[in-house]
């Protein structure tokens, strides 16, 4: 008996990090990366409904556009949900509009999947390019010389966990081994010499020309000085010292200073503005927490060491390991770590807000009258509330599952109020799962220098802030920016396509160690050293603990740290503006 | 650097026995020199005739840098955007800034400098996050700075005190001050952070209560840390935010706190600095009937030579409270019913932030306002008093000129009191106090006292040869100016100094920033015994693995991480 297959299916799309995407994120123009981020994962039952098998093609259509991608069945995707890794294909489909929050719609996006036999959408098609996108990244061989040295207490420059107990074995300038590290960090260290921007370049007539650093700096300064409303973006994967200098530069050129928070944990900050929040350093969790909740966080793929260093597998003074703790996972799909959980709550995509309100009702001692909230049966909601209330020391680790979907920043207002209520009968803290290793540092520096966390503009010579107006996505959607400085970031690969299209229309200055999509479309490219591997600096962990990044090996010859490049750029800009240094 | 000659100013410099004299001050290479050493051919000559010339002001307790200050900024975007609170950038001269109660670091440095203040001490920094505190201090323009380090609930210190091991307490304190580049030992509601970890502490911790999870009382912590300060020769006495802060009847605890350590004096004869004493000077058993205990506390302080305090003076209006006293802030959140931030720091301390408004018609707020002034006016020796608002807790530091006017003018006080809750004013002693601070007492309570408390009176707080050239010139002449009557002019004159000089550079002219420089971070280097320190550190390193989420090596802050450090050896 054959079942009638459907001709199309409406699903809720989630885009995000995977381990593979994370290990390849710095090699965006490689075949492995492109294949991985153009593969759509579907629940096996949904595959069956459409009569699909692994490797088949579908048209994925969303608010931002449509692409032809391959499909694959996956157990960690719920029925009704689809998953595609963050990257150009995801960005071609997601919702570019931010609803005045600065945050585009990256998750819980309504999409339609239809079986297709059209050719797969190429990277060039996504960016409207007729010619293949240039990849001029080069591998630079690190020289192994002399004795083998062990460097301990190394801080990993990948994710917001900022593990600081790495041990790196080097010989001369070659990294031999890295220990106490996850695959994301390992990839960063071991492939740090690959795909490098080889030298400063300026694009003339569609071709990149090698130029001396001074000329690139001069051209970059000229672009910034001549622009009426430049956007200076990135700052999250480089040192605090660089982020600080960036603020000085943005102020000088009267532009916008924005960083990854704008499309990551910005909504968390917006919720914080309204009601504040109870927070904690990570060691406190290790020492005390008996109830641990991961909400909207794919910790195993985005922060792999987190559970053993800081949470449910960690051993602290008063809590020893897994047996002393309860683990609750709340997500739209059974993310990998859900298999360790005592309780897995599957919430309907975009409906976290409703669940938070229901929990608040129960914590306040009121009745929950409906049979189901956000796809969760009432009994389970009650059980969850009771578990939260019975905690001696509870922690919520909250990821971008909550910032990027549904009520966005309103989720956080409600979450923080829930925790305020819980704190009357129990003790609760929340720690946002910051993605990049120094996005917190960029945040901190922006706050202490301007009072505001991100999306700060200086066109009137003093800081002004209004997410939705001064945020990068919105400024480009309205086509108000006339230049882009991208540092330690790849905005063209990770902003929605419509935003990337607008970015392509303005002169771009890219400062990056590695060749990436933004670099490929830039006017001026300046290679930089990798903080935490080739130069030192400070980074702030997700719980705001600042740690010192080490210099392990030398950068390729002639390549400077971001900090120095920024200083050169600031001086050149000051010269052009006639400012005393 | 240009030399400067300040001519014909009316100088008040009590530490050098100058109580009001017209004289010249010479500045060369960032220091004060005899005027005849200045080469007048090339020097900048400032005509200070008719002006008051005094050392730069020193704030001994202010929350200006670090994680909770930054959280306060994030909490209050509404504090930043108003036009009057903004400083616009002038490239090459000054950076931009925002904010009033929780200003950006730029507003902080510039606004202190505009008032003639040149040194600030960050009130409380958690060791794990002190690197952050230093980042902010480094970005704070003009002023010199130092850090008060939170140590009262530190797990290592608690363990050594439980073992009655003062030698190891000392060794650990010595190490951690150096490792975090800090200046002084700070206690905040000692032991309360330990209670806070165990559940949002419902009962406040009094001085004789047992700290949960230990067999210690706050008294034990006070004694052990006061001993450490004395034994290590630290210049600054223990800096204490006493238990029971904010609660009616708490003055009894404050007196017991003083009595606990009154006999443990450091090498300058100081045994304790009481932070924002106003918040710990309450009599009565409820907010509705609370009274001032200023008389009792003033009596105690008048009779003891080693006790100093800063006022914590309330100014009416909206502000943000922030302190390491997390339980108190949780309680205040329920009174203020608006926003709340709390922070736990592993193995060390905690914090809370709650925006609050002091209102003229609210009985309790008026009593609080009266207490700060009563304390300053009833304590006879103004060199035991430091003007402060515990910025931003009782108000922003930009209101110091107003506070000075209240101290120097009974009329100014009466004018304020006429707008306040009448029942409260009746219950204060303040209306009956006639005393008005003299100009010299203004200098004592904003320059001399704090310089002595931080133990830097060799180079700060005076205008003698060898002092740092941190100088304030105000556009009023004490010989002809009557602050008692012209208190409004006084406020303006102090708010916008005619000149502020920092390390020999003119940074403020006519109340405007004319140059941006960056000051030094002072920290102490107490003695250490290598073998003992090595034993203590291997014990610490072992426990760090379980208690902390960072390695011991990464916990230590290196000199090269700070812009400009100045170590102060204490032996």
Residue B569 CB neighbours (<10 A): 9
- Cβ atoms of A510 and A525 within 8 Å: the answer is yes
- Nearest Cα of chain A lies from the Cα of B155 at a distance, in angstroms, of 11
Whether B549 and A282 lie within 8 Å, measured CB to CB: yes
- Cβ atoms of A70 and A33 within 8 Å: the answer is no
Q: Please tell me which of the candidates B95, B200, B339 has its beta carbon nearest to residue A427.
A: B200
Q: pLDDT band at A1, cuts 50/70/90? A: very low
| pLDDT value for A17 | 87
| pLDDT value for B201 | 67
Distance CA A429, CA B197 (A): 11
| pLDDT value for A27 | 82
Is the predicted pLDDT of residue A3 greater than 80, yes or no?
Answer: no
User: Which chain A positions have a beta carbon within 8 Å of B550's beta carbon?
Assistant: 164, 283, 545, 547
Is the predicted pLDDT of residue B42 greater than 70, yes or no?
Answer: yes
The phi-psi region of residue A451 (left if phi > 0; otherwise alpha if psi is between -120 and 50; otherwise beta) is: left
Closest residue on chain B to A452 (Cα):
B74
- Nearest Cα of chain B lies from the Cα of A581 at a distance, in angstroms, of 6
Q: What is the mean pLDDT of residues B323-349?
A: 96
User: Which chain B positions have a beta carbon within 8 Å of A239's beta carbon?
Assistant: none
| pLDDT value for A120 | 95
| pLDDT value for B200 | 67
pLDDT tens sequence across A224-260: 999 999 999 999 999 999 999 999 999 999 999 999 9
Q: What is the mean pLDDT of residues B65-73?
A: 98
Pairing of strands A508-512, A524-527: parallel
Is the predicted pLDDT of residue B88 greater than 60, yes or no?
Answer: yes
Closest residue on chain B to A245 (Cα):
B139
Whether B91 and A579 lie within 8 Å, measured CB to CB: yes
Whether A281 and B549 lie within 8 Å, measured CB to CB: yes
Is the predicted pLDDT of residue A308 greater than 50, yes or no?
Answer: yes
Distance CA B173, CA B160 (A): 11
Cβ under 8 Å to B: A residues 530-569: 538, 540, 544-548
Q: What is the mean pLDDT of residues A414-443?
A: 95
Question: What is the rounded average pLDDT for all residues in chain B?
Answer: 97
pLDDT tens sequence across B367-404: 999 999 999 999 999 999 999 999 999 999 999 999 99
Distance CA B498, CA A408 (A): 50
Q: What is the mean pLDDT of residues B418-441?
A: 98
- Nearest Cα of chain B lies from the Cα of A391 at a distance, in angstroms, of 10
Instruction: For chains A and B, count residue pairs whose Cβ atoms are closer than 8 Å.
Output: 191
Whether A284 and B345 lie within 8 Å, measured CB to CB: yes
Whether A283 and B88 lie within 8 Å, measured CB to CB: no
CB of A80 within 8 Å of a chain B CB? The answer is no
User: Which chain A positions have a beta carbon within 8 Å of B77's beta carbon?
Assistant: 273, 451-452, 465
pLDDT tens sequence across B107-151: 999 999 999 999 999 999 999 999 999 999 999 999 999 999 999
Q: Please tell me which of the candidates A273, A392, A420 has its beta carbon nearest to residue B75.
A: A273
Q: What is the mean pLDDT of residues A442-452?
A: 98
| pLDDT value for B84 | 78
Residue B36 CB neighbours (<10 A): 9
Cα dihedral: B40, B43, B44, B46 (round 10): -40
Closest residue on chain B to A444 (Cα):
B70
- Nearest Cα of chain A lies from the Cα of B434 at a distance, in angstroms, of 42
**Range from A96-100, A339-343, B479-483 carrying the lowest mean pLDDT:** A96-100
Q: What is the mean pLDDT of residues A249-273?
A: 95
CB of A320 within 8 Å of a chain B CB? The answer is no
- Nearest Cα of chain A lies from the Cα of B515 at a distance, in angstroms, of 11
User: Which chain B positions have a beta carbon within 8 Å of A152's beta carbon?
Assistant: 553
Whether complex ipTM tops 0.95 = yes
Dihedral of alpha carbons B163, B165, B169, B171, sign: negative
Percent of chain A past pLDDT 90, that is, above it, reads: 91
Detail the DSSP E strand segments found in A205-322.
Answer: 207-210, 230-234, 256-259, 278-280, 291-295
User: Which chain A positions have a beta carbon within 8 Å of B353's beta carbon?
Assistant: 276
User: Which chain B positions have a beta carbon within 8 Å of A427's beta carbon?
Assistant: 198-200
CB of A279 within 8 Å of a chain B CB? The answer is yes
User: Which chain A positions have a beta carbon within 8 Å of B558's beta carbon?
Assistant: 548
- How close are the terminal C-alpha atoms of chain B, in Å? 33
Pairing of strands B499-502, B291-292: unpaired
Dihedral of alpha carbons B482, B483, B487, B490, sign: positive
CB of A230 within 8 Å of a chain B CB? The answer is no
**Range from A68-72, B220-224, B452-456, B567-571 carrying the lowest mean pLDDT:** B567-571
* Structure token digits, residue B270: 């100081």
Q: Report phi then psi at A461, rounded to 5.
A: 75, 10
Distance CA B524, CA B537 (A): 19
Q: Which of A160, A59, A71 is nearest to A118 (CA)?
A: A59
Whether B344 and A274 lie within 8 Å, measured CB to CB: no
Is the predicted pLDDT of residue B511 greater than 50, yes or no?
Answer: yes
Q: What is the mean pLDDT of residues B338-348?
A: 97
- Cβ atoms of A116 and A35 within 8 Å: the answer is no
pLDDT tens sequence across B451-469: 999 999 999 999 999 999 9
- Nearest Cα of chain A lies from the Cα of B99 at a distance, in angstroms, of 7
User: Which chain B positions have a beta carbon within 8 Å of A277's beta carbon?
Assistant: 341-342
Percent of chain B past pLDDT 90, that is, above it, reads: 97
User: Which chain A positions have a beta carbon within 8 Å of B128's beta carbon?
Assistant: 281, 283, 545
DSSP readout, B245-296? TTSTTTHHHHHHHHHHHTT---TTS--EEETTGGGG-EESSSGGG-EE-HHH
pLDDT tens sequence across A142-171: 999 999 999 999 999 999 999 999 999 999
Q: pLDDT band at A23, cuts 50/70/90? A: confident
Q: pLDDT band at A31, cuts 50/70/90? A: confident
Angle at A38 between CA A37 and CA A43, to 5 degrees: 95
* Structure token digits, residue A426: 């129990």
Q: pLDDT band at A291, cuts 50/70/90? A: very high
Helices (H), B98-149: 105-114, 130-139
CB of A444 within 8 Å of a chain B CB? The answer is yes
pLDDT tens sequence across B530-548: 999 999 999 999 999 999 9
Closest residue on chain A to B563 (Cα):
A241
pTM of the full structure: 0.97
* Structure token digits, residue B373: 């002034």
User: Which chain B positions have a beta carbon within 8 Å of A445's beta carbon?
Assistant: 135
Q: Please tell me which of the candidates B106, B129, B344 has its beta carbon nearest to residue A284.
A: B344
- Cβ atoms of B279 and B390 within 8 Å: the answer is yes
pLDDT tens sequence across B316-331: 999 999 999 999 999 9
Measured CA to CA in angstroms, residue A256 lies from A220, B96, B296, B391 at distances of: 16, 14, 56, 31
């Amino acid at each position: 008996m054959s079942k009638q297959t459907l001709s199309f299916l409406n699903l809720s799309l989630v885009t995000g990090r995977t381990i593979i995407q994370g290990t390849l994120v710095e090699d965006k123009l490689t075949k492995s990366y492109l294949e991985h981020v153009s593969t759509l994962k579907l629940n096996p039952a949904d595959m069956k409904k459409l009569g699909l098998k692994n490797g088949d093609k579908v048209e994925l259509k969303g608010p931002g556009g449509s692409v032809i991608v391959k499909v694959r069945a996956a157990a960690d995707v719920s029925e009704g949900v689809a998953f595609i890794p963050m990257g150009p294909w995801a960005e071609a489909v997601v919702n570019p509009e931010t609803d005045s929050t600065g945050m585009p719609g990256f998750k819980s996006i309504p999409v339609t999947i239809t079986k297709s036999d059209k050719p797969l959408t190429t990277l060039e098609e996504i960016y409207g390019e007729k010619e293949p996108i240039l990849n001029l990244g080069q591998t630079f061989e690190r020289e192994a010389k002399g004795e083998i040295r062990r460097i301990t207490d190394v801080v990993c420059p990948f994710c917001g966990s900022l593990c600081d107990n790495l041990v790196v074995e080097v010989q001369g300038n070659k990294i031999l081994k890295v220990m106490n590290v996850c695959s994301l960090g390992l990839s960063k260290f071991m492939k740090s010499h690959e795909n490098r921007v080889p030298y400063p370049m300026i694009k003339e007539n569609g071709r990149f020309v090698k130029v001396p650093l001074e000329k690139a700096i001069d051209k970059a300064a000229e672009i910034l000085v001549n622009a009426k409303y430049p956007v200076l973006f990135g700052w999250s994967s480089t040192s605090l010292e660089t982020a600080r200098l960036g603020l000085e530069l943005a102020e000088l050129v009267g532009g916008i200073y924005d960083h990854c928070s704008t499309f990551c944990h910005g909504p968390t900050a917006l919720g914080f503005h309204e009601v504040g929040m109870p927070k904690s350093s990570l060691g406190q969790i290790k020492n005390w927490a008996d109830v641990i909740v991961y909400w909207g966080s794919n910790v195993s793929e985005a922060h792999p060491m987190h559970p053993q260093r800081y949470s449910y597998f960690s051993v602290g003074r008063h809590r020893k390991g897994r047996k002393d703790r309860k683990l609750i996972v709340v997500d739209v799909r059974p993310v990998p770590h859900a298999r360790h959980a005592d309780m897995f709550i599957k919430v309907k995509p975009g409906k976290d807000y409703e669940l938070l309100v229901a929990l608040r009702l129960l914590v306040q001692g009121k009745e929950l009258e409906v049979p189901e909230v956000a796809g969760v049966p009432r009994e389970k909601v009650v059980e969850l509330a009771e578990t939260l209330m019975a905690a001696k020391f509870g922690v919520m680790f909250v990821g971008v599952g909550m910032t990027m979907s549904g009520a966005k920043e309103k989720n956080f207002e409600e979450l923080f109020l829930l925790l305020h209520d819980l704190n009357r009968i129990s003790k609760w803290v929340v720690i946002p799962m910051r993605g990049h290793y120094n996005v917190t540092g960029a945040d901190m520096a922006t706050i202490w220098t301007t009072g505001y966390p991100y999306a700060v503009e200086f066109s009137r010579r003093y800081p002004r802030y209004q997410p939705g107006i001064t945020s990068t996505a919105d400024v480009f959607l309205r086509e108000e920016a006339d230049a882009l400085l991208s540092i330690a970031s790849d905005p063209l690969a990770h902003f929605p396509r419509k935003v990337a299209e607008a970015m392509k229309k303005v002169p771009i200055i890219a400062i990056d160690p590695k060749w990436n999509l933004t670099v490929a479309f830039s006017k001026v490219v300046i290679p930089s050293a990798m903080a935490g591997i080739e130069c030192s600096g400070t980074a702030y962990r997700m719980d705001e603990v600042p740690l010192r990044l080490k210099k392990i090996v030398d950068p390729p010859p002639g390549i400077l740290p971001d900090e120095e490049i920024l200083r050169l750029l600031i001086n050149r800009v000051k010269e052009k503006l006639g400012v005393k240094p | 650097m240009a030399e400067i000659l300040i001519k014909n100013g009316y100088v008040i410099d009590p530490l050098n026995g100058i109580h009001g004299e017209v004289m010249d001050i010479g500045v060369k290479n960032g220091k004060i020199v005899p005027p005849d050493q200045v080469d007048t051919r090339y020097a900048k000559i400032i005509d200070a005739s008719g002006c008051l010339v005094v050392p730069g002001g020193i704030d001994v307790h202010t929350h200006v840098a670090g994680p909770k200050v930054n959280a306060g900024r994030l909490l209050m975007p509404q504090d930043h955007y108003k036009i009057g609170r903004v400083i616009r950038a002038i490239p090459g001269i000054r950076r931009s800034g925002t904010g009033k109660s929780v200003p950006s670091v730029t507003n902080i440095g510039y606004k202190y400098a505009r008032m003639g203040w040149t040194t600030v001490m960050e009130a409380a920094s958690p060791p794990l996050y002190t690197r952050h505190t230093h980042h902010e201090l480094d970005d704070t323009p003009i002023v010199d700075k130092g850090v008060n380090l939170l140590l009262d609930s530190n797990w290592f210190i608690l363990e050594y005190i439980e073992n009655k091991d003062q030698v190891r307490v000392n060794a650990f304190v010595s190490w951690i001050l150096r490792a975090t580049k800090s200046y002084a030992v700070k206690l905040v509601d000692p032991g309360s952070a330990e209670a806070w970890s165990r559940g949002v502490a419902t009962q406040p911790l009094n001085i004789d209560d047992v700290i949960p999870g230990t067999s210690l009382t706050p008294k034990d912590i006070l004694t052990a840390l006061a001993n450490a300060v004395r034994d290590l020769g630290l210049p600054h006495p223990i800096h204490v935010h006493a238990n029971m802060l904010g609660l009616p009847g708490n003055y009894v605890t404050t007196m017991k706190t003083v009595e606990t350590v009154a006999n443990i004096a450091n090498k300058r004869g100081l045994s304790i600095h009481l932070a924002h004493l106003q918040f710990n000077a309450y009599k009565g058993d409820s907010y509705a009937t609370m009274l001032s205990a200023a008389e009792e506390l003033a009596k105690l302080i008048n009779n003891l030579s080693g006790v100093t305090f800063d006022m914590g003076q309330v100014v009416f209006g909206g502000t943000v409270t922030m302190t390491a006293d997390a339980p108190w802030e949780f309680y205040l959140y329920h009174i203020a019913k608006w926003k709340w931030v709390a922070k736990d720091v592993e193995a060390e301390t905690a914090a809370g932030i709650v925006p609050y408004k002091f209102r003229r018609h609210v009985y309790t707020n008026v009593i609080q306002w009266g207490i700060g002034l009563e304390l300053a006016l009833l304590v006879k020796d103004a060199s035991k008093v430091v003007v402060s608002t515990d910025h931003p807790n009782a108000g922003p530091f930009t209101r110091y000129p107003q506070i000075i006017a209240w101290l120097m003018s009974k009329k100014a006080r009466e004018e304020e009191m006429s707008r306040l809750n009448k029942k409260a004013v009746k219950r204060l002693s303040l209306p009956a106090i006639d005393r008005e601070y003299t100009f010299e007492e203004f200098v004592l309570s904003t320059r001399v006292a704090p310089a002595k408390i931080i133990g830097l009176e060799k180079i700060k707080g005076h205008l003698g040869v060898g002092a740092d050239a941190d100088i304030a010139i105000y556009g009023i002449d004490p010989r002809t100016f009557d602050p008692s009557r012209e208190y409004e002019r006084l406020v303006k004159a102090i708010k916008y100094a005619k000149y502020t000089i920092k390390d020999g550079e003119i940074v403020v002219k006519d109340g405007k920033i004319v140059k941006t420089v960056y000051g030094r971070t002072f920290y102490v280097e107490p003695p250490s015994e290598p073998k003992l320190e090595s034993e203590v550190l291997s014990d610490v390193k072992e426990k760090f693995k379980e208690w902390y989420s960072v390695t011991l090596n990464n916990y230590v802050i290196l000199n090269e991480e700070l812009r400009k450090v100045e170590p102060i050896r204490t032996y």
